[in-house]
Each structure stands twice: as C-alpha cells, then as structure tokens.
Amino acid sequence: MFIIVIRTMILYFVVLIVMRVMGKAELSKLDPFQMIILFMIAELAAIPIESVDVPVFSGVAAILTLLLLEVSLSFLSTKSRFISNLLAGRPSILIHHGKINMKELKSQRITVTDLMQHLRIKNYPSFADVDYAVLEANGELSVIPKPEKAPVTLGDMNIPSSSSIMPMILISDGNLYKKNLALLGKDEKYLKKELSRIKITDYSQVFLCFFDEKSQLHVYPKDKGKKNMYKEVSIQ
C-alpha cells in the first residue's frame, strides 16, 4: 500500500509539471491533437499506479515523450499553416452571408436542427439574424450577426464612456491580496480607511472584498450567526 501511495504521488507531480509546461493556451484549445495528448497522459499515468510490476520510470519516460512531442508539434504549427491545419483542423463556414452552407453541414455531420440549437444558445433564434456562422477548429461556434441585428453599443449612439477596469478581489476569507491592491494603485491605508467606515477593524472580519469595473468597492463581512450566508454591506 505504501508503495502505491509513493508511486501515485510521483506520477501526480510529474503530470502536474507536464500540464504546466504545456501552458494555459494549449489546455484551453482542446482541439483533437490536445485531447489525444491529454487522454494518453492520463492513461500512461494510470498504468504504473495500477500495476506495480511496471516501473515508474517507464510511465514518466512515456509521459515526457508525449510532452516533447506536443511542444515540438505546437511550435511547428506556429511556423507552418499546413501542420497547424493537419493537427487542429480548420474553421468551417456554416452560414455565409445569410446562406446556409449545406455542403459544410454534411461534411461536419451537423443537422439544421443542431445548427439552430447552437444559434439559440448564442442568442440568435433565427437564421435570418445571422450573417456568418463559423465552426471553429476547437468545436466552438462563432456567430456574426447581420448589421441590423447586432447589439447597439455606446459608440453607435455617440455616448461617451470611460474605460473600465478589470474587477479584482482584494480580500478573500480574511486573506489580503496585496498584488491586486497595488495593481489598482491603492494601498492598505486606503483599504483600512474604507473598511473602518463600516466598523471593520481587521481583515479576518471580511469574507469577500472586491473592486468592480466601475472602481466601486464591495464588502461582504462575515456573520457569525449565519454560516455560509454573506450579505454585502454598503460603504457610505
């Protein structure tokens, strides 16, 4: 039993390192090539755990070989369009200038009913609303509406607007995120001053505190009497 635990821990950290080396971009694609790599890594990691007769080094070597293959082919795909299309495939235009491309639908084995369902998920209930619909290489459907059906923006209405900031958590379950505070151009003196306005003197009293895109501070204090239920307290 102890040997299995050790082997499992070793392979866990090996797979974790491999996933980190592959990078966030690779894991977010989930095209056929990446999916095959992930499935094979999972299978190769499981074999030495299930069978103590298989050396751990054999599983690690196989996983590292897959990592080398994945990184190498991913690099080559950035240099060659042919290799990129071979590994990840290419987008398919299902609707072109409002016309349904039946040839592509049949090629991708998608029915008109399936296409309509995907359009409804994208908030376009009718084919008449769509100018282009593209099935991306990773299986996602991108929809470009007709100009008259596109959402109205502030720019279209000539309404001036200031740029927003990315919402950031400043305190989570009593823990201060100093880097986020610095990114917002604030310091602890400012934060403590704002918290004192709602009678909070210590970060441990805060379940959640964050800055929204409009530069407004939101605070959810801990309530000892109501576990797992937290209500925002407005800062006046």
Chain CA centroid to CA 144, Å: 22
Place of tokens 């099935």: 135
Query: Tens digit of pLDDT per residue, the chain (236 long)?
Result: 677 888 888 888 888 888 888 776 555 556 677 778 888 888 888 888 888 788 888 889 999 998 888 888 888 877 777 777 777 778 899 999 889 999 999 988 998 889 999 999 998 888 888 999 999 877 889 999 998 888 877 777 777 766 667 788 999 988 999 999 998 899 999 999 999 998 899 999 998 999 888 888 999 988 765 555 566 776 65
- Annotated domain spans of the chain: 2-86, 92-149, 168-221
168-221 matches 92-149 in CATH topology: yes
Query: Do β-strands 168-172 and 175-176 pair in parallel, antiparallel, or remain unpaired?
Result: antiparallel
The CATH number of the domain covering residues in 168-221? 3.30.240.20
Structure token pair of residue 234: 């407005």
Structure token pair of residue 131: 């100018």
Fold designation for 92-149: CRO Repressor (3.30.240)
Q: Are 44 and 60 in contact (CB under 8 A)?
A: no
Question: Distance between CA atoms of 107 and 36, rounded to whole angstroms?
Answer: 22
Alpha helices in the chain (DSSP H): 2-22, 24-29, 32-50, 56-79, 81-88, 102-107, 112-121, 178-183, 188-196
